[in-house]
């Protein structure tokens, strides 16, 4: 099934409005533990239920994947991917860096994205071939070309099973970046990381993960704003990629090389610790 993603943007924006109203109007409520230092609030579930119900009525032919409750039905190559509250820990602690992330995935490629930051009052939208907008105004990625002048956001450190092992490359990457870039930032929200690359607020984002609900919307928003979005080895990014690197195009080669150096350092550290 193929569709012009631009035709679905009004529906996706309506879904984001439904979600944002819930986030603005409700307290986090009961917190459900999902694993070691991982949680969901009542609002996460309320948003996912409301958006799932709305999209199942408006686009019954399209599948739906939500972070909290998984796939409700599989579409014919098309699927909505939702993170109902991206940055749940921030939301729970009253930090305004959280939002709704809704992407449309066509096979393995995101073609539409809406990220709404309800507490900050910003909505980012993009559809393949239509550019990226923030509150209706066109935005572009920064023109940064030197790591020494770049602000780079990192995804969260790992929690849960095998967190220590999974964090070795993250710690090594932090070490390498600290010696090379102007500043490192960790906002605690993949949606914000990718949207702010698109908006030129930061120059690059590195996440050593790639969950569709985290990245589908942000990847197309960044890409349509002129960012290069690649996998950990520099190959084109898709929903089956191992990592998500989005940056001003002139930074990508240096970042991929730096990540490779960090991974080598992490492996050496692991061998010497044995």
Give SS3 for 39: strand
User: Is residue 76 annotated as involved in ligand binding?
Assistant: no
User: Is residue 67 annotated as involved in ligand binding?
Assistant: yes
- Please, what's the b/e burial string for 189-199 (b: 16 or more CB within 10 A of its CB; e: otherwise)? bbbbbbbbbbb
User: Is residue 214 annotated as involved in ligand binding?
Assistant: yes
Task: Please identify which residue in the block is written with the tokens 């559809």.
Answer: 127
In a 13 Å sphere around the CA of 161, the CA atoms on its Cβ side amount to 2
> Is the CB of residue 127 less than 8 Å from the CB of residue 112?
yes
The pLDDT score that the predictor gives to residue 63 is 95
Name 63's Cβ contacts closer than 8 Å, sequence gap at least 6. Answer: 71, 72, 73, 74, 75, 78, 79, 80
- State how far the Cα of 190 lies from the Cα of 21, in Å rounded to an integer: 21
| In 68-161, alpha helices (H) | 88-92
Q: What is the pLDDT along the chain (274 residues), one digit of tens a residue?
A: 568 999 999 999 999 999 999 999 999 888 888 877 778 889 999 999 999 999 999 999 999 999 998 888 776 789 999 999 999 999 999 999 999 999 999 989 999 999 999 999 999 999 999 999 999 999 999 999 999 999 999 999 988 888 888 899 999 999 999 999 999 999 999 999 999 999 999 999 999 988 999 999 999 999 999 999 999 999 999 999 999 999 999 999 999 999 999 999 887 555 555 5
Q: At what angle do helices 212-224 and 190-198 cross, to 10 degrees?
A: 0
**What sign for the dihedral angle of Cα 180, 186, 191, 197?**
negative
Task: Please identify which residue in the block is written with the tokens 């309800």.
Answer: 118
pTM of the model: 0.94
Give SS3 for 34: strand
- State how far the Cα of 127 lies from the Cα of 22, in Å rounded to an integer: 25
Domains and CATH numbers, the chain: 5-138 (3.30.540.10), 147-272 (3.40.190.80)
The pLDDT score that the predictor gives to residue 21 is 97
- State how far the Cα of 46 lies from the Cα of 24, in Å rounded to an integer: 12
User: Is residue 86 annotated as involved in ligand binding?
Assistant: yes
Give SS3 for 241: coil
- Using alpha carbons only, what angle is made at residue 70 by residues 65 and 75, rounded to the nearest 5 degrees? 40
Burial of residue 25, with CB atoms counted within 10 A of its CB: 0-12 exposed, 13-18 middle, 19 or more buried: exposed
């Amino acid at each position: 099934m193929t569709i012009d993603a631009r035709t679905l943007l009004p529906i996706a924006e309506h879904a984001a409005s439904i979600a944002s109203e819930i986030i603005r109007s409700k307290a986090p409520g009961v917190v459900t533990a999902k694993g070691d230092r991982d949680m969901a609030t009542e609002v996460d579930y309320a948003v996912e239920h409301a958006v799932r119900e709305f999209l199942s009525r408006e686009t019954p032919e399209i599948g739906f994947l939500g972070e909290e409750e998984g796939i409700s039905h599989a579409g014919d190559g098309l699927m909505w991917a939702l993170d109902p509250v991206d940055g749940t820990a921030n939301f729970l602690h009253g930090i305004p860096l959280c939002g709704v992330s809704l992407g449309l995935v066509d096979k393995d490629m995101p073609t539409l994205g809406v990220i709404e930051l309800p507490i900050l009052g910003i909505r980012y939208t993009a559809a393949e071939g239509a550019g990226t907008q923030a509150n209706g105004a066109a935005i572009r990625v920064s023109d940064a070309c030197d790591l020494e002048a770049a602000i780079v956001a990192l995804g969260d450190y790992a929690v849960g099973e095998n967190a220590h092992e999974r964090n070795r490359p993250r710690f090594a990457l932090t070490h390498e970046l600290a010696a090379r870039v102007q500043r490192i930032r960790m906002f605690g929200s993949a949606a914000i990381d990718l949207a702010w690359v698109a908006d030129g607020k930061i120059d690059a984002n590195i996440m050593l993960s790639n969950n569709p609900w985290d990245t589908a919307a942000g990847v197309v928003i960044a890409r349509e704003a002129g960012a290069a979005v690649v996998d950990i080895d520099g190959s084109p990014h898709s929903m089956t990629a191992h990592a998500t690197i989005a940056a001003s195009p002139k930074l990508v080669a240096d970042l991929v090389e730096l990540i490779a150096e960090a991974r080598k350092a992490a492996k050496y550290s692991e061998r010497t610790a044995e």
